[in-house]
Structure 1
Amino acid sequence: MEITSQQYKIIEPLLPIPRGNLKISNLQVLNAILYVAEHGCKWRGLPARFGRWHSIYMRANRWAKQGVLDRVFLALQENDVINIQVDHVSLDSTAVKVHPDGTGAPKKNGPQSIGKSRAGWTTKIHLVAAGANRAVAFRLSPGQAGDAPEGRKLLKSLEHCGWEGTSVIMDRAYEGDETRQLALELGMTPVVPPKRNRLTPWEYDRELYKKRNEIERLFRRLKGFRRIFSRFDKLDVVFTFFIHFALIVNTLFSVNRP
């Protein structure tokens, strides 16, 4: 899989002007990052066809520190080519095992959302998706963090983002009163089944709830990238860089996908 010139044109104006090794274009760098993300290899393992690996690594590292892909991801949310009108979003999380390369090093500067759960050292990706091809927002937490509190933080980040009037599909991990009330305060309709021990259960749109599989399919696409399926990076800024990259690539490849 490689990003084509046509797909690249969608995000080309959003990327910085290359500096340093000008022989390597931004498109070459993106496809080199795609290779690393897909195969989970180290930067030194890049095939020679991409150019000097150190030059690619330095540009990718610079982009990560400057939040370049964060801005590209946000810009794509408003791109007329990408933007899709939907009547619902889905909220869920998935756990990622942390590779031994990603553990330890407590003196590293920067947040490290890594915690010990029953599955060992893990990181959770909390995500809001609009359909199976488009992510709206995400955040990281240590593996032992609860879904509902982190989900509420993510929902609060959507305030004033134009998602009022939509339904938010959630599983029973988010059926608490506080989470449902927050969704209502944000102008969204919670679609979540009550737990079986609820004394006063509520009705919910069962047909719409079936679309919760959309976010599961998006997680499946994300975990097709080995650098996301297993966390190799100690710092959140680097792991987040690969998540943003995978979401951007998924968006670019879904433009003409039915």
Structure 2
Amino acid sequence: MELTAQQFKTIEHLLPIPRGNVKISNLQVLNAILYVAEHGCKWRGLPKRFGRWHSIYMRANRWAKQGVLDRVFLALQENDVINIQVDHVSLDSTVVKVHPDGTGAFKKNGSQSIGKSRGGWTTKIHMVAASHNSAVTFSLSPGQVGDAPEGRKLLKTLENCGWEGTKVIMDKAYEGDETRQLVFDLGMEPVVPPKSNRLSVWEYDREIYKKRNEVERLFRRLKGFRRIFSRFDKLDVIFKFFIHFAL
């Protein structure tokens, strides 16, 4: 799988002008990043057809620290290249195992959302999804962190989006009073089943709740990229770079 020249034209103006080794175009770099993301190989393992691996790595690293793909992701949403449906969104999280190569960085080097849970060293990806192939926003946390507190942080970023009345589909991990009240405060409607030990239960739209599978399907597609299925990157800024790229 590679990006075509036609697809590249959509985002070409959003990428920095190449500097240094200009023999390698931005399209070549993007396809090299796609190869690494899809196959989970090391930068040194890039086929020679992409060019010198170190030059590609340096440009990708520079883009990650400058937030280049973050801006590309937002620009695609704003231009409706990614068609986001806002009649409902789904909130959920997934756990990613951290490879031993992804641990051990100094804290001063940057944020590292890596923690120890029952499954060992893990990272959680928290996401608000608009459909099975459209993400609205996401964040990272250490694997042992609860879903609800991080979910509330993501929901707060939806304030002033003009999505009043939008249904927010969540599983029972988010059925706490604080999370549900936040959804109401944002002018949205929580669709979440109550836990069995709730003394006062509530009704929820069971038909809409069936659409919670969309965020699960999005996670499945995201983990089709081996560089995301297992975390090899020590710093969040690089791991987020690959997630933004895949999305």
Q: Identify whether the pair has TM-score above 0.5, normalized to the shorter chain.
A: yes
SS in 2 for 1:182: helix
- CA offsets, 1:105-148, max 9 Å, x none? 33551010000000000000000000001000000000000000
2:168–2:188 Cα contact (<8 Å) kept:
yes
Letter of the aligned partner of 1:66 in structure 2?
A: Q
Answer with 124-133 or 158-167: which moved more.
Answer: 158-167
Query: Aligned equivalents of 1:29 and 1:8: distance in 2?
Result: 11
Secondary structure (helix, strand or coil) at the match of 1:130 reads: strand
TM-score scaled by structure 2?
A: 0.97
Contact 1:164 1:186 in 2 (8 A): yes
- Taking every aligned residue pair, what percent have the same amino acid on both sides? 87
Q: 1:108 to 1:35 in 2, by over 3 A?
A: farther
What SS does the corresponding residue of 2:28 show, helix, strand or coil? helix
**TM alignment of 1:188-199, pairs within 5 A:** 188-199=188-199
Counterpart Cα distance in 1 of 2:121 and 2:139: 18
SS of equivalent residue, structure 2 residue 111: coil
Post-superposition Cα deviations, 1:22-77, rounded to whole Å, max 9, x if no partner, equal: 11111110000000001111111000010111111111011001000011111111
**Contact 1:76 1:83 (C-alpha < 8 Å) held by counterparts:** no
RMSD, matched Cα: 1.0
Structure 2 residue 204 is the aligned partner of structure 1 residue 204: yes
Q: Does 1:110 align with 2:147?
A: no
Letter in 2 for 1:14: L
Say which SS state the counterpart of residue 216 (structure 2) adopts: helix
Q: Does 1:150 align with 2:150?
A: yes
- Is 1:26 paired with 2:26? yes
In 1, the alpha carbon distance for the partners of 2:78 and 2:225 equals 25
Aligned-partner Cα distance in 1 for 2:13–2:81: 14
1:181 corresponds in structure 2 to: 181
Q: Indicate if the aligned counterparts of 2:14 and 2:72 stay in contact, CA closer than 8 A.
A: yes
Output aligned runs, 1:131-146, within 5 Å. 131-146=131-146
What is the 5 A alignment of 1:62-141?
62-141=62-141
Corresponding residue SS for 2:89:
strand
1:246 aligns with 2:235: no
Greater Cα offset, 155-164 or 174-183:
155-164
Cα distance in 2, alignment partners of residues 54 and 213 from structure 1: 40
Query: Corresponding residue for 1:12?
Result: 12
Query: Higher mean Cα deviation, 10-19 or 75-84?
Result: 75-84
Q: What does residue 40 of structure 1 align with? A: 40
| SS of residue in 1 equivalent to 2:109 | coil
- 8 Å contact 2:85–2:131 — kept in the other structure? no
The answer to whether the Cα contact below 8 Å between 2:101 and 2:232 also exists between their aligned partners in 1 is: yes
Residues 133-172 of structure 1 show CA distances to partners (whole Å, capped at 9, x for unaligned) of: 1000000000000000000001011111232221010000
* SS of residue paired to 1:97: strand
**One-letter amino acid of the structure 2 residue matched with residue 234 of structure 1:** K
Letter in 1 for 2:24: I
Worse-matched range after superposition: 238-247 or 74-83: 74-83
CA contact (8 A) 2:86 2:163 kept: no
Compared with structure 1, are the counterparts of its residues 112 and 84 closer, same or farther at alpha carbon in structure 2 (3 Å cutoff)? closer
Q: Deviations over 1:162-215 (max 9, x none)?
A: 322210100000000000000010111100000011111100000000000000
1:87-107 alpha-carbon deviations (Å, 9 max, x no partner)? 000000000000000112335
TM normalised by structure 1 equals: 0.93
Deviation at 1:81, TM superposition (A): 3.2
Asked whether the 8 Å contact 2:89–2:167 carries over to 1, the reply is yes
The letter for the 2-side match of 1:231 is: R
Where does the alignment leave 5 or more consecutive residues of structure 2 unmatched?
A: none
5+ residue gaps, structure 1 = 248-258
Deviates more, 1:169-178 or 1:1-10: 1-10
